[in-house]
Structure 1
Amino acid sequence: MSDPTTPQVPDVPQLPEVPQVPDVPQVPEVPPVAPPAAAYGAPATPYQSQPYAGAALKKSPILSILALIAGVIGVIGSPIAIIPFVGGFLGLLFPVAGIVLGFLGKKRETAAKGFWLTGIITGFIGVGLMIVSFVLWGLLFSLGSAYDYDNF
């Protein structure tokens, strides 16, 4: 069985003796320590609570902002009073809306004082301008009928 063409396999070497590992010393038992308190905003127990969601969103003072816009449009749109009587009625829409929304904002959104107060003030100015236009147009039409053009 020895074939001259097959290479010979060397014998497996023997491993040297492995020294004995010494015993590991035992660590003395330490009493358990309470975990540190959770930081502000952190969950009390990380495995049972929901993740921190952040601060609540502030509610936008929409009524107060609308009061401001309606009041300013009522004052700026007061030249519509040029149209006799109809302009006065149309010109009352935005100022009255500014007043109503301003008082609603005062009741519900106290933090937005600048917005609702400006809406109330400009709303009353717009209503005053429209009342003046009613009076002026009324006087103009009442005095205009007193003149008789046939007597010239």
Structure 2
Amino acid sequence: MRLKVYLSGEIHSDWRTTIAEGIKAAALDIELSGPITNHEASDDCGEVILGAEENPFWKDHKASKINALRTRKLINDADIVVVRFGDKYKQWNAAFDAGYAAALNKSLIVMHDPKITHPLKEVDAAAQAVCETPEQVVEIFKYIARDQ
């Protein structure tokens, strides 16, 4: 079974690499995609492509719209969306991606530390699975891919 999986969420840890390595080790037929994880490139793409802005609002506005082109396309194409919430920063974009995926009726896996369960209760309620580690995500994929 071929699956397309979009990996959304925090960009300050190696969780995406752990999932990719687990998929490879299990020989699963899964194509991964995700946002631009280079923070500077993501924040600056609007100015780099469309020109500089004096007002930080318009700088962010340009970048967020360009990033949304990629995000919407990849979430639309995905069979499953995995959203990782870290505890170091608030990932408003991750919450938005989870809501967008849910609105499209995409299968959703949410991953976060139990310490932030309460603020994410509505996001968790929309998910088909809520877990804590990238290894658990890989185990979910292995289960989904089972023949019997």
TM-score by length of 2: 0.24
Larger RCO of the pair (alpha carbons < 8 Å, separation 6+): 2
Larger Rg: 1
State the TM-score, normalizing by the size of structure 1: 0.23
More strand by share: 2
